[in-house]
Amino acid sequence: MMNELNLDLIGLQTVEEFHDRAAATFDFPAYYGRNKDAFWDCITDFVEPTTVRVGNFHSLPDALTLALSAYIEMLKTYESETSGTFSVLIDPAPTPD
């Protein structure tokens, strides 16, 4: 059975808030170090089939989008390394009217 997780980034203003949201969404252990290395270590602990939907990434302030891009890339990298057992869906950017 596939686990489905929703990492909704709505309302985030800081990288620290991202770490709070990610830790809660992914149920990271209490010792999660709240940095890129710790994020990688924790997401690569997923061994059960998992789909992660990242919501509202494109609605973040530009500076935060840039700061969080590395974390999104880590999710995509892990997806490419797992041959389909870990997948990432990023909500598309809204189209202008």
pTM value is: 0.91
CA–CA separation, 86 vs 97, rounded Å? 34
Task: Tokens for 16, please give them.
Answer: 């620290």
Please determine, for residue 92, whether its predicted confidence score (pLDDT) is greater than 70.
yes
Please determine, for residue 97, whether its predicted confidence score (pLDDT) is greater than 70.
no
Domains contained in the chain, CATH given: 3-90 (3.30.370.10)
- Given this model, what pLDDT does residue 93 score? 75
CA–CA separation, 97 vs 92, rounded Å? 15
Please determine, for residue 15, whether its predicted confidence score (pLDDT) is greater than 70.
yes
Question: What is the tens place of the pLDDT at every residue in 43-86?
Answer: 999 889 999 999 999 999 999 999 999 999 999 999 999 988 99
CA–CA separation, 78 vs 58, rounded Å? 21
**Residue-averaged pLDDT of the chain:** 94
